[in-house]
């Protein structure tokens, strides 16, 4: 599937997330995890592991000549639970490394940081970045709660420290800043000054 991601435009990520209700049903028919199996610990110790389908990301193809140098900020345009359902559906061909919940700032990790999530809509940016989704809608600022900002900033700060990514607006970008995208997230209601300040204070 990684060849498809590299060479062909995929369906709009926004459209895929909006179809979350259809995604959840077929996934529920998949076999249950083996009894007694322990889920792996997330890379981010304050998060929980909510794995995306392996069909929705590329396993560990990062190379030393293409290090991580970006964090991409997204907004789900759907609920937290629906976003997870989309990432877990093997036909959706979309994922992000993390999803942050609005109400309490809870962090779910869906893709390992050493793996390549399909979140940016551009293969070069997927190779170089970690994607963080935030529950909400770009035109509903009430979803951008204090606790969401704080927990997301703590997550982003940890990622930047781990990978040597500068904690500034040149390296923490919105999805709308990826070349060729038709996305607007995180939108005009996202407080970038506040967020970068919190990242550096974390």
Indicate whether 33 belongs to any domain: no
Q: Domain count of the chain?
A: 1
Indicate whether 146 belongs to any domain: yes
Candidates 196, 84, 198, 182; CA nearest to 146 is: 198
Residues 86/33, Cβ–Cβ less than 8 Å: no
Indicate whether 41 belongs to any domain: no
Over 60: is that where the pLDDT of 190 sits? yes
Over 50: is that where the pLDDT of 79 sits? yes
> Mean pLDDT throughout 167-192?
97
Q: Output b/e per residue, 175-194; b: 16+ Cβ within 10 A.
A: bbebeebebebbbeebeeee
pLDDT confidence of residue 65:
73
Q: How confident is the model at residue 36 (pLDDT cuts 50, 70, 90)?
A: low
Indicate whether 42 belongs to any domain: no
Indicate whether 32 belongs to any domain: no
User: Considering the chain, what percentage of its residues have pLDDT values greater than 70?
Assistant: 80
Active site residue 64: no
Would you give the DSSP letter of residue 108? E
Indicate the range of 10-19, 84-93, 142-151, 174-183 predicted with least confidence: 10-19
CATH number of the domain to which 76 belongs: 3.40.80.10
Catalytic residue among 2, 133, 150, 177: 133
Indicate whether 17 belongs to any domain: yes
How many whole angstroms separate alpha carbon 155 and alpha carbon 83? 18
Over 60: is that where the pLDDT of 118 sits? yes
pLDDT confidence of residue 2:
32
Domain that holds residue 174: 2-25+47-57+65-201
Indicate whether 38 belongs to any domain: no
pTM value? Answer: 0.83
């Amino acid at each position: 599937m990684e060849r498809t991601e590299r060479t062909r435009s995929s369906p709009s990520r926004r459209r895929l997330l909006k179809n979350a209700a259809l995604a959840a049903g077929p996934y529920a028919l998949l076999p249950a995890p083996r009894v007694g199996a322990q889920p792996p610990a997330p890379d981010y110790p304050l998060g929980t592991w909510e794995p995306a389908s392996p069909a929705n990301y590329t396993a560990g193809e990062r190379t030393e000549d293409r290090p991580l140098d970006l964090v991409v900020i997204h907004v789900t345009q759907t609920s937290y639970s629906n976003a997870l359902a989309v990432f877990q559906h093997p036909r959706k061909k979309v994922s992000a490394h993390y999803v942050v919940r609005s109400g309490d700032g809870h962090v779910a990790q869906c893709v390992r940081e050493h793996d390549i999530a399909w979140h940016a809509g551009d293969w070069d940016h997927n190779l170089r970045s970690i994607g963080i989704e935030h529950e909400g809608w770009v035109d509903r600022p009430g979803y951008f709660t204090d606790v969401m900002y704080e927990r997301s900033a703590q997550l982003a700060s940890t990622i930047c420290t781990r990978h040597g990514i500068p904690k500034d607006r040149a390296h923490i970008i919105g999805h709308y800043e990826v070349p060729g995208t038709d996305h607007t997230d995180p939108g005009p209601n996202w407080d970038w000054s506040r967020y970068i300040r919190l990242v550096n204070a974390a």
